[in-house]
Structure formats: structure tokens, C-alpha cells
Chain A
Amino acid sequence: EMRLVESGGGLVQPGGSLRLSCAASDFSFNIHWMSWVRQVPGKGLEWVANIKKDGSEKNYVDSVKGRFTISRDNAKNSLYLQMNSLRGEDTAVYYCARDKGYHFDSWGQGTLVTVSS
């Protein structure tokens, strides 16, 4: 059964940086677009970014453009999210999800990022 496992979350000060990772297993990672979706605790879902299967195309929600960078390493079956200039409003659970055409057919368990001094 396919699996997505996020890691790298934690407490970071405003203005700081953090790199999230998502390890994929038991499916052909290199043929799928992948996304990051976040959720402020107790609030709704927000799509953050996605990346084409070969990494040649990346898209971002406006609120993170210029601060976050999505990347992938197909040799390692891994997805990443480099987050710089973090703000309080970036505090959320970050999920990686597999893009299956127009929907997300599999999600990780999420990793919590807390931006606070």
C-alpha cells in the first residue's frame, strides 16, 4: 500500500527557515505530480504548492511565492518544501499529497510547523 510520510516540522522563530520532507513508498513516485497542502489547527485546508513529475514546473499559492520552494528528488522518492522568511500565519500542519489528475488521492499524516518567538 502506498505511503507518504512527512517530517521536518517543528518550532521556528519568525523570519526563520525550515525544510519539510515527504518520503514516498510503494508507488511510482516519478510519474506523479505532488503537492503540499496545509491546515491551520482547527481551520480549513489550503493548497500551498505543487510540482510536476520531473520537477520542471512548479506552482505556488500567492501567499508563499518568493518565500517557499517546492522540489523533489525522484531518485530518493522524496518531496521537499523549503520555507524561508516564515511568519506566524504559516503555522499549520503541512501535508504532502499525491496529485491524481484533478484531485489528491493520497495524503500523508502531516507535520506541524509552529512559527513563534
Chain B
Amino acid sequence: SYELTQPPSVSVSPGQTASITCSGDQLGEKYVSWYQQKPGQSPVVVIYEDNKRPSGIPERFSGSNSGNTATLTISGTQAVDEADYYCQAWDFNTGVFGGGTKLTVL
């Protein structure tokens, strides 16, 4: 079965840039979405179709996808961005999530 691999944790200082990677075989040939989940809340999509940002999501969130790696980038990271982040793609008709990355802003 298809797998997506994320680092378990990423730390960033306020105001700096955070990058969270998601790796999978030929991932660049698939559309990748990114979800933010804060404790006790449902996930929220922050990037879809590799690099599109839904309305209401701050411009500091951006995405890219090429080769075997997709990347979520948060520029000027704020304390409010501290959360778990999950990448997601489709393998044929099956949804696949990465294991999640805990972003710590300190």
C-alpha cells in the first residue's frame, strides 16, 4: 500500500520559516493536501492541490510538490500556527494520510 512519510516533529522560532515535508513514491504526480489540527479540534485544510490556499487561510501558508517530496511552508510563523499537520494524497481510489508532524513554535 502507498505510504506518506512526515517527520514527527518540527520546531521553529516565532517569525521564522517552518518547512514540513511529506515523502512518497512519485508523489509529485499526485495532488497533495495539507491539514492543520489543533488539540480537541477537527482538521482544517490549509493547502490543497499542492499549492492552493482556501479562503480564510493566511498567505503565510504555501505548498509545493515535486519528485518524491511535497513541502508545506509557513513563513513568519506565529504562535497560533502551533498544531499537528498532516499531508494527504490519493493512491488510485484510496485516500492516504501522512503520519503527521507536530509543529512547535518556541
Contact = CB atoms under 8 A, between A and B. Distances in A.
Q: Dominant SS at the B interface?
A: strand
Contacts of A57: 93
Chain A contact residues, majority secondary structure: strand
Contacts of B97: 37, 44-47
The interface centre, meaning the residue of A35, A44, A61, A103 with most chain B CB atoms within 10 A of its CB, is A103
Interface in A1-56: 35, 37, 44-47, 50
Contact of B95 (A47, A100, A107): A47
Interface residues of B, number: 24
Contacts of B33: 102-104
Contact of B43 (A101, A102, A107): A107
Interface in B38-88: 42-45, 48-49, 54, 86, 88
Contacts of B1: 62
Contacts of B44: 107
A59 interface: yes
Nearest to B42: A107
Contact of B96 (A47, A100, A107, A110): A47
Contacts of B86: 44-45
Contacts of A105: 45, 48, 54
A52 to B, nearest CB: 10
A50 B95 contact: yes
A110 B95 contact: no
Nearest to A60: B94
Interface of A: 35, 37, 44-47, 50, 57, 59, 61-62, 95, 100-105, 107-110
6 contacts: A50-B95, A102-B31, A102-B49, A103-B33, A105-B45, A109-B42
Task: Report the 4 A-B pairs with minimum CB-CB distance, sorted nearest first.
Answer: A47-B95, A103-B33, A103-B48, A102-B31
